[in-house]
Structure 1
């Protein structure tokens, strides 16, 4: 009797877990714009069964075809779902009835995942032709034989303890000719390593010259050994350090290398085992190249498609498990400056054009904001959005405390992270950046492009407004006052506005801003605005109220937000680039005093939160 009850209890728990997972599946599908239907059809969406969560085409197809003839299996890249179409509705019904909740193997850590199936009327997956290889990029397949591959791998004496062998983030690295420095992607040209290039590379290099793959004989070699799951961040080999051609031999395993243009275009390139990657011209000087850390890659199934890009037809994609890979990267040391055709990313040419900080006296407020606020956010919109995904709790509390059906304006909404917080509100956003407003549109949020000093919404019609981290971007007190007045104009009598601005006092009582994490507080007395705008050092205390704050472009975490990679809205963006944004940071009491100059409102509450001074004002 006890054993029977235990089984019954376990069965209920399993059903509860399945319902929970099914609900999560439906939320995912709605988020992806996939419409499911309750009636049987020939086509099904297979949630949790996609390339994005480690399910290979071969494993999934083996499971699906046991229920009937499969006409097509569409597996979109990097998505945790797929679409299967059977030859008959009966086969689809059989799969739907039997496979929901069934586990299939995953290539990710050898775990299993549970499938969840739903009917769809039709499968509409936008097919895009594979992008062309970056100009100047070539791949020479089978540049060495399997026997030569073994000789090259055996020739690396990893166990030898000398200055040429390094350990980099659990990766074995060995240098010849010159040591490659990963801190600056450069070499010390005055400190060559003894011995030059190893003789076991001579046959390969002579073959490259004979086949016209390289023009200059390399004099620097870096050997890296990558275990499955390891990668390298996107980068451009420093222009002034090396000549045009950079070649890399892949041994032991194939790999997908990601090339990214400054306009946001991403090209995943399959580099087969025993092949040579040759970067020259634009692909060497302008495009970044890197390897995403993961244990499997999306590749083409079809024969003859091992070389090239891998973002083409979704019915030809599968997963390839990575093995231990050893790369031989050869470079030619450059003596002298680089004179390439890409000055925007050339360290030699940028050093000649280095400019001093802008002079406040030389810029009108509107020009200052246009150059160091509007243009910057327009350029970094995708990357900025990828870092703005966690709402601040006290802003959420304000929105959740509003009455059901309230009309709310988010002035300076950015990517719209607060617009969908409270589903019982009617929220509309606006922002000066068209690219950020476009991101709101992609998320199905209502938003428009406008200036915070002239919001095209009906006056006196909103129950509440929020202005989060916006007003500190206005360059004069008069313009900051006008921004507050514009918020008040939107409110109806009794309406409230929540305003956040950066605080000069980043440490207040016992609540320290995350902005100072790992930084140091200055003991110096804050200075008034200087004739030139100082460039602030991130993670340190502010020593001026008017300043430029750097925005450092960094590579996004794979899978978390792909806007920086896929969107073509950014202009001339490269990881490692720095943009400067103008800020006026507020002293304690300054925001309340500013709001006090607006007629017809009262400050109901003021506080310090997340390194910001914050107020809630009410229209009388």
Structure 2
């Protein structure tokens, strides 16, 4: 999709130009969906190029464009994966009228410049995917047709006729057993007893082995067409595992978002009268929610589903003991401060061992695949060092600044705590030793020292001060050092642009912002949006060629995600840190692509 080829609304292309574009579009079709056969005669099915979400055409706009030709038209769309869609009409005549009217044209319903639609008849539609092919969280279970129409009707009457049904901002709610407190996302106050109709559902859940204990908090949600619920966890400390939800009246697509990898979002179809068991991984690590929108794209078939009124009934068992789940990074239970921001040295060492040192040992090969670019500020510093100078790289990683092929005339030695990265750097011909940033086994007297993206892994102010002190001790008087850290202010960085693009996309799709999660006393997992606090755990997802090969060999489908500790620096904080170490003169602190680059000199 090329935006520079856009044309104004109502523009039309014909003749050879249209034939040429049709040929290119059909080449895309053959590459992505080879099972689809182009027709030589008119059919009920249309292939429509330049009509997908990838081309900034929403499902609602597609429906508006094609429904005038056939009120029962069905759409097959591919969110973010294809530049085309398919349209299925009830008659050949309706399909022919649509092609005649829209082929080579920028539809007026788009209301802005766009690439013209390129349309061809096809004999068949793409093969439907099965539910198993949709990537989703482990342990999530969908049970189709858990209740029949009669039971569904009785449950709907129970909910809709209850005078306690309370209208909220985006849905109406009704509670049984215990009231749900939305300010704390918990339930402690007993209310109306659970009615017999719901007790019978509980009996069935136990009989079929889906739950072991009887739920004591049940919530019914009534959604009007287009309404949803923000992405959220069912609070770990408030409820046991599993959380069970029954969907009534209509299908809907629920999005599950991996809290350890915000880019990983799995759309899951909840069919009418189905049961959804949110348990294990899907309960404790994945958030779930329903986007506010008029249409869903069915992840099983890619067909467009128009939202209708829907009722969900969620069954929960109140937790009466501390949560001991295996997902402590996402758990709200305090666990005696296990996930607190460290304040003493012993806790800091343990944290950095678990969430820095051990992680880099596990991700070393993938880290090496992704770390080749040289920061402009660092290059400028290196270029300022006279040939023949002795340079130390503290936290050298894969050795990208030590490579022999960088003919800079420097004597370069690196140190890193990670054995895997030391071995990788050594394999490239770099001189490296294994050592910690707080005690590198190197002789003092270096002309220059660099420490790139290391200091922000120190979890207390005292340890960050000691790291600067260690760098200073390695320098000769008059020697200079360059240190970089992540910044709290991302400014115009590529990361910030990526985040803004995603947030703009989510806004367009009707997704609500999640609650502000700031908790300065506790380590939170960064969700890929703006930093909400300075001390946090940042996901690293192992992907790429080598990791894919390894997953295939081991039969794994999921990308593995690890969490690394970061202290992101506020404006002025790095300069203040330098002032805590005697004998240094700060030359400069610059912001580059969301990183602070500091240069200082040892003056005594």
- Using the size of structure 2 for normalisation, the TM-score is 0.49
- Using the size of structure 1 for normalisation, the TM-score is 0.48
